[in-house]
Amino acid sequence: MAQLDSASPSEGEGCPFEPGREQIFPSTPEGDELGMRAAMVLAERAQATGDVPIGAVLAVDGRRFDAWNEKEARPDPTAHAEMIAIAAAARALGRWRIGGILYVTKEPCAMCAGAIAAARIERVVFGCHDPKGGAAGSVVDILGSDVVNHRVAVTGGVLADETAEQLRAFFVAKRRLERWSSG
C-alpha cells in the first residue's frame, strides 16, 4: 500500500539548510495555535485590497514565509495565501521539495491542496473548515487521496471559531457596503 510513500519528508536530508531544522512554532497544540494566530494577523492585510482575509505561514528550516490572499490585489486567480507562501519558499530555498509546516486560516481549496502535496509539505494546520470548497476533507480529500503520492499530515479546526469569525465579519461588512453603495 505505502510503496510510493518513500518520497516522504525525509528526502529533505542532506539539504544545505540542515542547521535550520529548529522549528518556528513547536509541534504541540499550543504551537499550532501560535502559528494560527500569526496567520490570522497576515489575513488582516488581505482586507486592505478587498481580498477575503486568509493568511498563511509556511515554517521550514527555521525560517518563515508569510503570505496572504492577493487574488484581487494582483489580480491573479492563483494568488491564494498558500500558493504565495509556497512559491516564496521555493525561490528562497532554491528547491521545489519544500517540506515544513503550513499554517493557514481556512481549509485549503483543491488548487492549494494539490500544490501542498506537490511541495512535499509535511504537515498542514488549518483554521476553520470550508464546507463549500475545502479539499482537506470537507468536500474532497485531496491530501488523503491516492491521486497524490505524498502523504501530508493534517490538523484542522485550530482556533476554528476565531478564524471563521474573521471571515464572517469580512463578508458581513462587504454586504453592508454593497447595500450602502447601491442604495
- Under the binding rule (CB under 5 A), the answer on residue 37 touching Zn ion is no
- By C-beta, is 112 or 158 nearer to Zn ion? 112
Task: Give the pairing of strands 153-155 and 55-60.
Answer: unpaired
- Under the binding rule (CB under 5 A), the answer on residue 109 touching Zn ion is yes
- Catalytic annotation present for 82: yes
- Dist CA 68 CA 53 (whole Å): 7
* Residues in binding contact with Zn ion, number by CB under 5 A: 3
- By C-beta, is 12 or 56 nearer to Zn ion? 56
H or E, element range at 30? helix 29-47
Report which of 54, 28, 42, 20 is spatially closest to residue 123, judged by C-alpha positions. Answer: 28
- Under the binding rule (CB under 5 A), the answer on residue 106 touching Zn ion is no
H or E, element range at 126? strand 123-128
Only segment of 18-26, 66-74, 103-111, 166-174 that touches Zn ion (CB under 5 A): 103-111
- Under the binding rule (CB under 5 A), the answer on residue 112 touching Zn ion is yes
Binding stretches for Zn ion (CB under 5 A): 80, 109, 112
